[in-house]
Amino acid sequence: MKISAIVSLLGPLAATVAVAFTGLTASALPENSSVPGGVAVVRIAAATEPAPTARFRGRPVLVTRDDDGWFALVGLPLDLKPGRQNVDLSMGGSRRTRAEFTVVKKTYPVQRITLADKRKVEPTPEDLQRIAREQAEIDRAKNHWDAAPDVDLALQIPAEGRLSSRFGLRRIFNGQPRSPHAGLDIAVPSGTPVAAAAAGKVIDTGDYFFNGNTVFVDHGQGLITMYCHLSEIAVQIGDRLQRGQPLGLSGMSGRATGPHLHWGVILNGALVDPEVFIGAVAGAR
């Protein structure tokens, strides 16, 4: 279903989606959260310096400037061990240096979930083949890089609803430990409009075994958002979206115990806590 069809379906509500979400934004720089699953905000140069480039563990890192200087925004994987870390910098020409920061330990709560569909916990051999194919496609989307000069960091919540399962929960499905929850769940009824968290380009869509109907939106310099368990996808690969523009409708496709939106934020290939970018909004809920 295309955006025009969804707008027709929603009537007056669709016309207010972008307006309603406009106020749900954070400041230009996200809060520093130097923990596994967080974002390290590292000052790397004075604002008067030429634009530097940065890499973390061999991956290019988002670099942005504000009045206080140039900053590297480093996405920290959930499995990263606490301790000293380095960002490798190129300061123009042949000058190379590095900036250090410290990752501190964070313990995430445990969540126990019972699923009636046992295949979502113990996939069949055919399911496992499908999951492997899909994981390769998901990894390509997560590692996409577009060297955009300006990146909108003020992400907005993509749907209005209660924040249910938070990022980082150590999940146990039907008594069996599984990967931590690497996104933010928003409890909304099926058919709720889901909007782009910021301006960007659709780089992939698909119907995945675990994530269900999913949209990936690239915002530049390795900042990517994904929207999972949709009942309808309203965009195509290559579409350019504005902040608050509808991209689909919520649902419970894939592995889901009920209708909700699973929203993921990816930075330099790492799934990070979306609340880093919307902390002031999430804290008020």
Domain end, chosen from 52, 71, 103, is at 103
Residue 76 lies in a domain: yes
Whether residue 68 sits in one domain with residue 132: no
Nearest of 201, 194, 189, 197 to residue 157 by alpha carbon:
197
Q: What is the pLDDT of residue 112?
A: 66
What was the pLDDT predicted at 284? 37
Query: Does residue 34 lie in a domain region?
Result: no
Contact 195, 188 (CB under 8 A): no
Do 208 and 161 belong together in one domain? yes
Residues 91 and 119 in one domain: no
CATH number of 71's domain: 2.60.40.1590
- 45 inside domain: yes
Question: Does residue 49 lie in a domain region?
Answer: yes
Rounded mean pLDDT of 233-253?
A: 97
Residue 33 lies in a domain: no
d(CA 115, CA 33): 33
For CA atoms 29, 265, 75, 163, the dihedral sign is: positive
Domain end point (choices 82, 103, 124) = 103
In a domain, 248, yes or no: yes
Quick one: pLDDT band at residue 196, thresholds 50, 70, 90?
very high
Q: Does residue 62 share a domain with residue 19?
A: no
121 and 63 together in one domain: no
Q: Are residues 77 and 125 in the same domain?
A: no
Could you tell me if 91 and 179 lie in one domain?
Answer: no
Three-state secondary structure string covering 100-156: EEEECCCCCCEEEECCCCHHHCCCCHHHHHHHHHHHHHHHHHHCCCCCCCCCCCCCC
Q: Are residues 152 and 168 in the same domain?
A: yes
Q: Looking at residue 201, which CATH number applies to its domain?
A: 2.70.70.10
Q: Does any domain span residue 183?
A: yes
Q: Are residues 19 and 151 in the same domain?
A: yes
Contacts of 64 (CB under 8 A, 6+ apart): 28, 29, 70, 71, 73, 151, 153
pLDDT at position 9 over 60: no
Task: Based on the fold, state whether residues 271 and 141 are members of the same structural domain.
Answer: yes
The H or E element that residue 193 is part of is strand 193-195
Total structural domains within the chain: 2
Three-state DSSP class for residue 6: helix
- Pair (98, 152) in one structural domain: no
**Confidence at residue 211, expressed as pLDDT on a 0 to 100 scale:** 94
Average pLDDT over residues 160-181: 73
Low-confidence winner among 24-33, 136-145, 193-202 (lowest mean pLDDT): 24-33
User: The domain containing residue 58 runs over which residues?
Assistant: 39-103
Q: 32 in a domain, yes or no? A: no
pLDDT, one tens digit per residue, over 58-91 is 999 999 998 889 999 999 999 999 999 999 999 8
CB 105: neighbour CB atoms within 10 A?
9
Mean pLDDT of 118-129: 79
Shared domain check, 134 and 264:
yes
